Amino acid sequence: MRVAEIVVKILEKEGIEAAFGIPGAAINPVYEFLGASQQIKHYIARHEEGAVHAADGYARATGGQRMALAICTSGPGATNFVTGLYTAQVDSIPLIAITGQNVRAQLGKEAFQCVDIAAIAAPVCKKTWCITEPSQVPFIMQEAFHLAREGRPGPVLLDLPLDVQMADVPFDPSLYSPLPIHKPAPDPALIARAIDMLLQAENPVLIMGGGVLLAQAAETFVALAEHLALPVITTYMATGGIPADHPLHVGHIGIQVGSPFGNQFFLGSDVVMGIGCRFVDRHTGKLDVYTKGRKFIHVNIEPSHIGRIVPTELGIVADAGLALDALLAEAKARTAPRQPWGRVARIPEERARLARKTDYDQVPIKPQRVYQEMNAYFGADAIFTTGCGLTQIWSGQFQQTSRPHTYLASGGAGTLGYDLPAAIGAKLARPDATCVAVMGDGGFGFMVEELAMACQHRVPVIVIIVNNGYLSLIRQNQKYAYEYEYGVDLSYDGLGIDFVKLAESFGAYGERVTRPEELRGAFERAERCGKAAVIDVIVEREADASMGASIDAIREFV
């Protein structure tokens, strides 16, 4: 069987149903058989990076339970994959990337569109291969899928030389099956010690990380918190793992998307148990402030993450789901269900009292009001994507989410332009959900061409542009850190780009909103139009987002 056909047969066997990509000469043999597949549907992107973000959004919307394929040709097509691969890798998102390559005889000779993408992408993938032996393709693909799924999930890349794709090797698809996934179980003695520490602490707190959602264990996490009456902090990647209004939910902490109440509450803790989290810089801020006076328990499937950033009193290497099952069983064996007391009982009241203001009525619209209206209009099943900038920070601060896998953010990379193609992938993975990309005007320009993918394939995503005519996060940094402003103004001839006309030129619905009372109607029209829609919301140009260098020194703006 020709290797190109084997590749597609294995993709089908591994459960791939969606492929996002752009064909080219170096990958056309695979495309021949991809086009004949009755299982895999191909969605043509307009930029290779957008194809990877779409595959990423597809996986995130399913909690990593279903992967998608990103596929493209060699040379600049392959190098355009790198940003998308990095975005997926740092957020632990599994996906399969396949690139075409020049023939083996041209490798290393600077031939046309012949670049060592396996080496280039290696730092931003779990593993990469340039497969030069045709008979190894089935076994390497089997390993690639297994590696993408097992342990800490992530992207893998397969680079296929043209003559390898065209080779014939023996292969029987009926004999192929995916490799089983091993989930490491926790040491019972360490689980018992963790419960000891939580029960003995005066002010313990639980941190839910994104790994809990990837392990499909959010419900067990909440059950543990409820049984022990322990407060829950969510990392940005765990947004939606516990309802925003749950009486034990403290909210986010951190130097950007953290809340005043969340940061204040965390600073009063003495024992912290983080499960499936990485303790990254935007969450911790200055480490001396974050760690002072606190003991840490860290549960993570990746051994190298434990003790990497915060000093760890107790480390447990385990799958988050299996660890939570064990923790809950141990907690139930030790104590009857407990009732919240003291500061834990006051969480709902204090959370509301210290919440930042969003009910502004002025024109131009305050950005905070946009998020208030989104919270009020879109249902609990709506899926939101967001990338980077003040728009993303405001989103993390103000959006209220109540279900796992409904808030899909570029967390570790902060990738401008991720939002739109990721929303397309999410909508294709979960077609019954409303999918909304929340973007700034600067970020929209990075991947605007993927609106064509949505329109061509009739994927009715909604783009909400919080338009202040600036690269506003950079403007704010320049203003307060350096006392200047340069190179960040995106406006010209009045407002700058007419996003309504731009949307219409793609075949999408477009509408501009300038008053706060118009927001709900615009959202309703976008949702009912039956096609991709862009809502351009003109907001106050120089509104700032609350942030700081440490969680005890956040500068608040209204």
378-399 pLDDT, tens per residue?
999 999 999 999 999 999 999 9
Q: Where are the alpha helices (DSSP H) in 181-295?
A: 188-200, 210-214, 218-228, 260-267, 281-284, 287-291
Q: What is the pLDDT of residues 510-524, one digit of tens each?
A: 999 999 999 999 999
* Candidates 3.40.50.970, 3.30.300.30, 3.40.50.10380, 3.40.50.720; CATH matching 3-175: 3.40.50.970
Give the Cα separation of 69 and 96 in Å (integer).
5
Band of residue 527 on the pLDDT scale cut at 50, 70, 90: very high
Q: Is the pLDDT reported for residue 348 higher than 90?
A: yes
Q: What is the pLDDT of residues 260-315, one digit of tens each?
A: 999 999 999 999 999 999 999 999 999 999 999 999 999 999 999 999 999 999 99
What's the pLDDT score for residue 558?
A: 87
Query: Hey, which residues does 388 pair with through a beta bridge?
Result: none
This prediction's pTM? 0.97
The pLDDT value recorded for residue 490 is 97
Strands (E), 313-440: 314-317, 383-386, 407-409, 435-440
Quickly tell me which residue has 């909304």 as its tokens: 436
pLDDT at 384: 98
Q: 197: pLDDT confidence band, cut at 50, 70 and 90?
A: very high
CATH class name, domain 367-547: alpha beta
pLDDT of residue 128: 98
Calculate what percentage of the chain has a pLDDT beyond 90.
Answer: 99
pLDDT-above-70 percentage for the chain: 100
Q: CA 280 to CA 154: how far, in whole Å?
A: 18
Crossing angle between the packed helical segments 48-61 and 82-90, to the nearest 10 degrees: 20
DSSP letter string over 90-145?
A: HTT--EEEEEEE--GGGTTTT-TT---HHHHHGGGSSEEEE---GGGHHHHHHHHH
Per domain, the residue ranges of the chain are: 3-175, 188-353, 367-547
Q: What is the pLDDT of residue 346?
A: 98
Please tell me the distance from the alpha carbon of residue 350 to that of residue 332, in angstroms, as a whole number: 29
pLDDT at 495 over 90: no
d(CA 166, CA 33): 12
Q: Rounded to the nearest 5 degrees, what angle is found at the Cα of 140, between the Cα atoms of 137 and 145?
A: 120
In sequence order, the 6+-apart residues with CB closer than 8 A to the CB of 333 are none
Q: Which two tokens stand for residue 125?
A: 């993938």
Q: What is the side-by-side strand order in the sheet with 127-130? A: 41-44, 18-21, 69-72, 95-101, 155-161, 127-130
**Strand 41-44 and strand 547-548: pairing?**
unpaired
Residue 101 pLDDT > 90, yes or no?
A: yes
**Confidence tier at 494 by pLDDT (50, 70, 90):** confident
Rounded distance between C-alpha atoms, residue 207 and residue 228, angstroms: 14
| pLDDT on residue 62 | 98
Level-2 CATH architecture, domain 188-353: 3-Layer(aba) Sandwich (3.40)
Residue-averaged pLDDT of the chain: 98
Over the stretch 9-68, which tens digit does the pLDDT of each residue have?
999 999 999 999 999 999 999 999 999 999 999 999 999 999 999 999 999 999 999 999
Look at the chain and count its residues: 558
Give the Cα separation of 169 and 309 in Å (integer). Answer: 48
pLDDT at 362 over 90: yes
